[in-house]
C-alpha cells in the first residue's frame, strides 16, 4: 500500500518546569499517530538553579531536547524553540495542556496535504466546566481560550513562515497578545491559518482571589498592538472588545471626587462619587450575574471590581508610554537590515577544506576571499570566524595546532575581530558546536553586539541553522560539499564570497 509521506513536525513547549510537563510528555508518548521528530522543551525559568530533568518516556528517547530559554518570556522561548527545529512544521503546546489520546494522529491528519498558502493550523482548546454550578469569573476568563483565535496553547506553523515573518515579537513580555500579533502578521503577509480537528484540554489552575486585578497588566500590551496593526486590530484578530472605555467612567469619577473634595467643591464631589459608585456597581453586577453567587465569589467580585477600572487605566497609560519608547521589534536578522558584524565559517568558506588540518603550511584561502573581506573592512563591518574543530575532541589534533592554523589564516586574510572555536565532538552535546547557536552568540557578545545584527556566511546547513538559532541572518555560499537540500532550504544563497558580501553591503546603500 502506498502511504502518504508523514509530515515532519517538531513540538515546541516553553516551560517553567511545572509538574504538568511530565504528564504532557507521557500523553505525547502514548498518543496514537506518528511521533514528532523533535520535542523541544525550552527551559524558561529565570533561576535555573537545578537542571530541568523531565521524565522522558522511552518512546520519546532521543527526540526530547531541553534548550535554555533565558527567562525572557514565552515569546522569546518559542522563538528559541522553533529556531532549533529542523522540520517543516512546528507545533506549539503550553506546558500545562493535556492532549487527547489521539492528538498526534489528529495532528498528522490536520497538517497532511495542506495547501502551500496555509501557514498555520490551530487546534481546539477545551476548558472543563465545573459540574453542578456556573463558572466563576476566573474560570470564565480561562474558558475564553476556547474561542480565542490563533492561541499558541495548541498552534502549528510552517517553519519557513515563522522565519519569513521573524517569529514572535519579543516586545510582548507575557503570554498575552503575542499569539494574536503573530497571527495578524502572518495573515497580513498573505498566508492563511486554518482550524484543525485535534483537541487539547486546558486546565483552570488555582489562582489567588486577586488574579483578575493582576490580569489587567495585559492592558499594557494593547497600545503596541494598535501601533503595529492599526486601531481595528481586535476585529482582524477576532479578539473580544475590551471594557477599557467603560473603565474610564468609574476611574474618572473617582479621580474627580478626590480632586473636587480636596478643592472644597462638595457638590461636584458628590456627583463624581455617584458616578464612581454607579460605574463600579454596574461592572460588579456584570461579573456577578453569570457566576455562582457564593459568599466568597461575591466578596471577590465586589473587591476586585473596585480595583480593576483604575488599574486597567493605569496599565493602558503605562503601555502607551512604553510603546513609544520601545525599540523596534527584535526579529531575526533579515535582508535589508544593516549588519554590525559578519561571522564566517572557516573550512570550505574562507579556506579550502582540509579535514583535521593542523599544518599551517596547508592553508589555502578560497579564491576572492581577501578582496571580499577587505570590502567589508572598508565599510566598517566587524569580522569574525566561527568554526567547529571536532578534531580536537576526537584526539586528531591539538588546540595548539588549531591555533597555528588560525594564526596563518589571520596572516593571509586577517585581521579578524573575533575567533570562536568549538573543540567538541557532535556526541558531546555542547551548546557551541554549529548547528547550535553558541559560537554565533559568543562571537556577537565579544563584538559588543547582538546576534540579530550579525550575518553568518557558511558553506553548509549547519552554518545556516546556527545563524537562525541565534537570530542572525544566514547566507549560504555552496561548494562541492554542499548538498542540494541545504541549498534548497537556505534562506539566502550567494554564488561566491564576493556575491555574499554584496548582499550584506546592499543593506547599507540608500537613504
Secondary structure of 461-477 in HEC code, one letter for each residue = HHHHHHHHHHCCEEEEC
* Near Mg ion in 441-470, by CB under 5 A: 459
Residues in the chain: 511
User: In 373-467, at which residue ranges do the beta strands (DSSP E only) sit?
Assistant: 382-388, 418-422, 454-458
Q: Least separation, in Å, of the C-beta of 489 and Mg ion?
A: 16
Q: Least separation, in Å, of the C-beta of 426 and Mg ion?
A: 14
Kindly tell me which of 297 and 347 has the beta carbon lying closer to Mg ion: 347
* Near Mg ion in 124-163, by CB under 5 A: none
Tell me the window of 102-110, 208-216, 348-356, 499-507 that interacts with Mg ion (CB under 5 A): 348-356
**Distance (Å, whole) CA 58 – CA 30:** 10
Strand-pairing partners, residue 384, are 343, 418
Q: Determine, following the binding rule CB under 5 A, whether residue 486 of this chain makes contact with Mg ion.
A: no
Tell me the window of 58-66, 265-273, 339-347, 392-400 that interacts with Mg ion (CB under 5 A): 339-347
- Residue 214 burial (CB count, 10 A): 12
How many residues make contact with Mg ion (CB under 5 A)? Answer: 4
From candidates 106, 110, 181, 345, binder to Mg ion by CB under 5 A: 345
**Distance (Å, whole) CA 197 – CA 235:** 24
**CB 442, CB 432: distance < 8 Å:** yes
- Give the relative orientation of helices 20-30 and 103-111 as an angle to the nearest 10 degrees: 70
* Near Mg ion in 25-54, by CB under 5 A: none
Q: Determine, following the binding rule CB under 5 A, whether residue 347 of this chain makes contact with Mg ion.
A: yes
Kindly tell me which of 14 and 348 has the beta carbon lying closer to Mg ion: 348
Kindly tell me which of 17 and 365 has the beta carbon lying closer to Mg ion: 365
Return the SS3 of 89: strand
Tell me the window of 83-91, 186-194, 346-354, 502-510 that interacts with Mg ion (CB under 5 A): 346-354
**Distance (Å, whole) CA 20 – CA 279:** 40
**Distance (Å, whole) CA 94 – CA 16:** 10
Kindly tell me which of 89 and 419 has the beta carbon lying closer to Mg ion: 419
**Distance (Å, whole) CA 181 – CA 489:** 26
**Distance (Å, whole) CA 75 – CA 186:** 15
Question: Which residue, judged by CB position, is nearest to Mg ion in the bound state?
Answer: 348
What do you get for the CA distance between the two ends of the chain, in Å? 60
Q: Least separation, in Å, of the C-beta of 456 and Mg ion?
A: 11
Q: Least separation, in Å, of the C-beta of 89 and Mg ion?
A: 28
Phi, psi of 316, rounded to the nearest 5 degrees: -65, -45
CA dihedral 177, 180, 181, 182 (to 10 degrees): 130
Kindly tell me which of 263 and 481 has the beta carbon lying closer to Mg ion: 481
User: In 16-111, at which residue ranges do the beta strands (DSSP E only) sit?
Assistant: 38-43, 64-68, 89-93, 98-99
Positions marked catalytic: 345, 347
Kindly tell me which of 332 and 466 has the beta carbon lying closer to Mg ion: 466
Tell me the window of 151-159, 191-199, 209-217, 342-350 that interacts with Mg ion (CB under 5 A): 342-350
Q: Least separation, in Å, of the C-beta of 343 and Mg ion?
A: 12
Kindly tell me which of 435 and 491 has the beta carbon lying closer to Mg ion: 435
Return the SS3 of 195: strand
Kindly tell me which of 254 and 457 has the beta carbon lying closer to Mg ion: 457
Task: Say whether the peptide bond before residue 415 is cis (omega within 30 degrees of 0).
Answer: yes
Q: Least separation, in Å, of the C-beta of 349 and Mg ion?
A: 5
**Distance (Å, whole) CA 218 – CA 309:** 13
And the C-alpha cell for 150?
Answer: 490563533
CB neighbour list of residue 325: distance below 8 Å, 6 or more residues apart = none
And the C-alpha cell for 273?
Answer: 462619587
Tell me the window of 9-17, 300-308, 341-349, 425-433 that interacts with Mg ion (CB under 5 A): 341-349
Q: Least separation, in Å, of the C-beta of 98 and Mg ion?
A: 44
Q: Least separation, in Å, of the C-beta of 108 and Mg ion?
A: 35
Kindly tell me which of 99 and 478 has the beta carbon lying closer to Mg ion: 478
* DSSP class of 283: H
**Cα torsion 338, 341, 343, 349: sign:** positive
Q: Least separation, in Å, of the C-beta of 468 and Mg ion?
A: 16
Q: Determine, following the binding rule CB under 5 A, whether residue 348 of this chain makes contact with Mg ion.
A: yes
Q: Which residues bind Mg ion (CB under 5 A)?
A: 345, 347-348, 459
Amino acid at each position: 500500500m502506498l502511504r502518504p509521506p508523514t509530515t515532519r513536525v517538531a513540538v515546541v513547549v516553553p516551560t517553567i518546569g511545572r509538574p504538568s510537563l511530565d504528564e504532557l510528555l507521557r500523553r505525547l508518548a502514548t498518543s496514537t499517530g506518528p511521533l514528532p521528530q523533535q520535542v523541544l522543551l525550552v527551559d524558561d525559568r529565570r533561576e535555573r538553579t537545578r537542571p530541568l530533568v523531565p521524565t522522558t518516556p522511552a518512546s520519546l528517547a532521543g527526540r526530547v531536547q531541553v534548550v535554555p530559554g533565558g527567562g525572557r518570556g514565552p515569546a522569546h522561548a518559542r522563538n528559541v524553540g522553533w529556531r532549533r527545529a529542523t522540520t517543516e512544521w512546528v507545533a506549539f503546546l503550553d506546558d500545562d495542556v493535556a492532549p487527547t489520546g489521539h492528538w498526534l494522529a489528529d495532528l498528522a491528519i490536520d497538517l497532511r496535504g495542506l495547501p502551500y498558502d496555509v501557514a498555520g493550523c490551530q487546534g481546539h482548546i477545551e476548558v472543563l466546566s465545573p459540574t453542578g454550578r456556573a463558572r466563576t469569573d476566573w474560570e470564565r476568563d480561562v474558558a475564553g481560550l476556547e474561542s480565542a483565535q490563533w492561541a499558541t496553547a495548541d498552534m502549528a506553523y510552517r517553519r519557513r513562515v515563522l522565519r519569513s515573518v521573524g517569529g514572535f515579537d519579543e516586545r510582548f513580555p507575557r503570554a498575552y497578545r503575542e499569539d494574536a500579533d503573530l497571527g495578524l502578521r502572518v495573515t497580513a503577509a498573505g498566508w492563511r491559518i486554518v482550524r484543525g480537528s485535534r483537541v487539547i484540554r486546558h486546565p483552570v489552575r488555582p489562582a489567588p482571589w486577586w488574579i483578575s486585578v493582576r490580569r489587567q497588566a495585559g492592558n499594557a500590551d494593547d497600545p503596541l498592538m494598535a501601533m503595529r496593526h492599526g486601531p481595528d486590530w481586535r476585529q482582524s484578530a477576532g479578539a473580544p472588545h475590551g471594557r477599557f472605555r467603560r473603565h474610564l467612567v468609574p476611574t474618572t469619577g473617582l479621580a474627580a471626587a478626590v480632586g473636587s473634595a480636596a478643592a472644597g467643591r462638595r457638590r461636584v464631589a458628590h456627583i463624581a462619587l455617584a458616578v464612581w459608585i454607579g460605574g463600579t456597581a454596574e461592572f460588579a453586577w456584570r461579573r456577578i450575574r453569570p457566576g455562582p453567587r457564593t459568599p466568597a465569589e461575591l466578596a471577590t467580585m465586589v473587591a476586585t471590581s473596585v480595583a480593576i477600572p483604575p488599574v486597567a487605566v493605569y496599565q493602558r497609560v503605562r503601555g502607551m508610554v512604553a510603546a513609544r519608547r520601545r525599540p523596534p521589534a527584535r526579529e531575526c536578522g533579515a535582508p535589508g537590515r544593516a549588519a554590525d558584524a559578519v561571522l564566517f565559517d572557516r573550512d570550505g568558506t574562507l579556506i579550502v577544506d582540509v579535514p583535521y588540518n593542523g599544518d599551517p603550511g596547508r592553508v589555502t584561502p578560497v579564491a576572492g576571499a581577501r578582496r571580499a573581506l577587505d570590502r567589508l573592512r572598508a565599510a566598517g563591518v566587524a569580522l569574525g570566524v566561527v568554526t567547529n574543530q571536532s578534531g580536537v575532541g576526537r584526539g586528531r589534533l591539538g588546540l595548539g595546532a588549531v591555533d597555528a592554523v588560525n594564526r596563518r589564516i589571520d596572516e593571509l586574510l586577517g585581521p579578524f575581530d573575533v575567533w570562536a572555536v568549538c573543540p567538541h565532538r557532535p556526541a558531546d552535546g555542547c551548546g557551541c558546536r554549529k548547528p547550535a547557536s553558541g559560537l554565533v552568540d559568543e562571537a556577537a557578545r565579544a563584538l559588543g553586539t547582538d546576534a540579530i545584527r550579525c550575518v553568518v556566511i557558511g558553506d553548509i546547513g549547519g552554518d545556516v541553522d546556527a545563524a537562525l538559532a541565534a537570530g542572525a541572518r544566514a547566507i549560504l555560499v555552496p561548494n562541492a560539499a554542499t548538498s542540494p537540500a541545504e541549498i534548497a532550504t537556505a534562506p539566502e544563497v550567494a554564488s561566491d564570497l564576493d556575491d555574499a558580501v554584496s548582499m550584506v553591503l546592499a543593506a547599507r546603500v540608500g537613504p
